[in-house]
Chains A and B, each alone.
Chain A
Amino acid sequence: MTETGRYLYAIARGLDPQALTDVPALAGGHLEVVEHRGLGAVVSSVDLDEYGEEGLRRNLENLPWLEEVARGHDTVVQATATQAPTAPLRLATICLDDDGVRERLDAWHDALEQVLDRVEGRMEWSVKVYARPRPAPAAEATRPAASGAAYLQRKKAETEARQADESSTAMIADEVHESLAARSVAGRRLPPQDPRLTGRSERMLHNGAYLVEVDEGVAFSALVDELATAHPEVVIEVHGPWPPYSFATLEQT
Chain B
Amino acid sequence: MTQSPDATPTARPHYSPPSQTSRPQPANLADILERILDKGIIIAGDIRVNLLDIELLTIKIRLLIVSVDKAQEMGIDWWRNDPMLNGQETTLADENRRLRERIEALEAKESGD
Interface positions of A (Cβ within 8 A of B): 5, 8, 11, 19, 22-24, 48, 51-53, 56-58, 60-67, 70-71, 73-75, 77-79, 81-84, 87-96, 100, 104, 108, 112, 115, 121, 123, 126, 190, 193-194, 196-199, 214, 217-218, 221, 239-242, 245-246, 248-250
Interface of B, helix, strand, loop or mixed by DSSP: loop
Interface positions of B (Cβ within 8 A of A): 4, 6-7, 9, 11-18, 20-24, 26-43, 45-49, 51, 53-57, 61-68, 70-71, 73-74, 76, 79, 84-87
Q: Which of B4, B37, B49, B55 has the most CB of A within 10 A?
A: B49
Are B45 and A94 neighbours in the complex by a CB distance under 8 Å? yes
Q: Which residues of A contact B17 (CB under 8 A)?
A: 82, 123, 214, 217, 240-241
Q: Which residues of A contact B18 (CB under 8 A)?
A: 217-218
Q: Which of B32, B42, B57 has the most CB of A within 10 A?
A: B32
Q: Which residues of B contact A83 (CB under 8 A)?
A: 9, 12-13, 15
Q: Which residues of A contact B57 (CB under 8 A)?
A: 60, 66
Q: Which residues of B contact A67 (CB under 8 A)?
A: 29, 67-68
Are B12 and A57 neighbours in the complex by a CB distance under 8 Å? no
Are A90 and B36 neighbours in the complex by a CB distance under 8 Å? yes
Q: Which residues of B contact A82 (CB under 8 A)?
A: 9, 12, 15-17
16 pairs, CB–CB < 8 Å, chain A vs chain B: A24-B7, A60-B56, A74-B36, A79-B7, A89-B43, A90-B51, A93-B43, A96-B47, A121-B14, A190-B38, A194-B62, A194-B63, A214-B14, A217-B18, A242-B31, A246-B35
Are A199 and B63 neighbours in the complex by a CB distance under 8 Å? no
